[in-house]
Amino acid sequence: MSGADTVLVVDDSAIDRRLAGRLLEKAGFGVRYATDGDEALVEIEREAPSIVLTDLHMPKLDGLELVVAIRKRKPKLPVVLMTAHGSEAIAMHALRVGAASFVPKRRLADELASTLRAIVDLAVDSGDRTSNVDPLDARESRFVLDNDVAGITEVVGQLEAELARLGICDETGLIQVGVALREAIVNAIVHGNLEVSSKLLEETTASGGTAFAELVAERRSKDPWRRRRVSVLARYEPDEVTYRIEDEGPGFDPSGLPDPTDAANLERLHGRGLMLMRMFMDEVTHSPTGNVVSMTKRRAR
């Protein structure tokens, strides 16, 4: 990724637009602005950005309507939502109809740039990648990753290319599956292999500290954590693909996970990845020990 990556920030609040824009410019993005969905569509037709960041409540064309319009006109263009208290239900609907992810406005400083960077990296043209998957034959592909999250993008890009050849979902769906896979693999590395909890992430975010990142970095270089690996298995059928992500950590009780279908949990850090996984996949299950998550994407009927 380079400084050529451009974000179109869409918000009717001048203060919120500029706040998001400054954070993104600081992270190396180019930034353009629109005050509502109608203006955003004009900007997109004039010159498509790398990604769109939009508020939900706006006059004229709102954020949900913008997501729907972009999916029809520019299905390869990812859209990320800025959410606020009271917009949880509409945000979940927007995720179902095509948005790629979300960032709560109260956490823009901590999460905005990293969220958009990850999605821009995933939203590659699948035609630029090679794949040996024959859509008429069932087959498998396997990957083994160490505990460096930097290696996730290449693996997910290959899996997206294979899914594209099967034609199971449209281009927006490919981005969403890529997001779900990335969330599952990050969870397997950080929470599974390295045993760094979401609770520490919430505490660190609330305090503005760095304890979470420091512990992740420390455990990546120490036994027993550094020796653990994450395996990713993709099993292809003509009308569906199933992904199996397994870590080598001590496991956990999946029954304690928050309900990802409850809009009240949208802005919680704990369970965010699971929410996106269940939103974008047709089926998500954990093994009894929590070390294995299986996700299935089926051909749209």
pLDDT of residue 3: 45
Lowest mean pLDDT among 166-180, 203-217, 281-295: 203-217
Percent of all residues in the chain with a pLDDT value above 70, rounded to a whole number:
89
16-47 confidence digits (pLDDT tens): 999 999 999 999 999 999 999 999 999 999 99
pLDDT of residue 126: 47
The full DSSP string for 167-199 is: T-S-HHHHHHHHHHHHHHHHHIIIIIIS---HH
Instruction: Please determine, for residue 203, whether its predicted confidence score (pLDDT) is greater than 60.
Output: yes
Closest CA to 121 of 50, 70, 188: 50
Helix (H) or strand (E) holding 95, with range, is helix 88-97
The CA distance from 220 to 215, in Å, is 9
pTM value surpassing 0.85: yes
176-187 confidence digits (pLDDT tens): 999 999 999 999
6-122 has which CATH code?
3.40.50.2300
In the predicted model, what is the mean pLDDT of residues 209-234?
95
In the predicted model, what is the mean pLDDT of residues 110-133?
76
Start-end of CATH 3.40.50.2300 domains in the chain: 6-122
Which of the two residues, 59 and 198, has the higher pLDDT score?
59
Start-end of CATH 3.30.565.10 domains in the chain: 133-298
Which pairing describes strands 292-298 and 139-145: parallel, antiparallel, or unpaired?
unpaired
Average pLDDT, the chain: 89
Q: Counting beta carbons within 10 angstroms of the beta carbon of residue 151, is it exposed (0 to 12), middle (13 to 18) or buried (19 or more)?
A: middle
The domain made up of 133-298 has a fold known as Heat Shock Protein 90 (3.30.565)
Q: For residue 97, which phi and psi values (nearest 5 degrees)? A: -95, 0
Which residues, at least 6 apart from 11, have a Cβ–Cβ distance to it below 8 Å? 17, 20, 35, 54, 55, 58, 82
Instruction: Please determine, for residue 296, whether its predicted confidence score (pLDDT) is greater than 60.
Output: yes
The CA distance from 25 to 112, in Å, is 11
Lowest mean pLDDT among 57-61, 180-184, 240-244: 57-61
Instruction: Please determine, for residue 4, whether its predicted confidence score (pLDDT) is greater than 80.
Output: no
In the predicted model, what is the mean pLDDT of residues 77-99?
92
The Cβ of residue 176 has, within 10 Å, a number of other Cβ atoms equal to: 24
Return the structure tokens found at 56. Answer: 């939900």
123-162 confidence digits (pLDDT tens): 864 445 555 555 445 589 999 999 999 999 999 999 999 9
The CA distance from 64 to 49, in Å, is 19
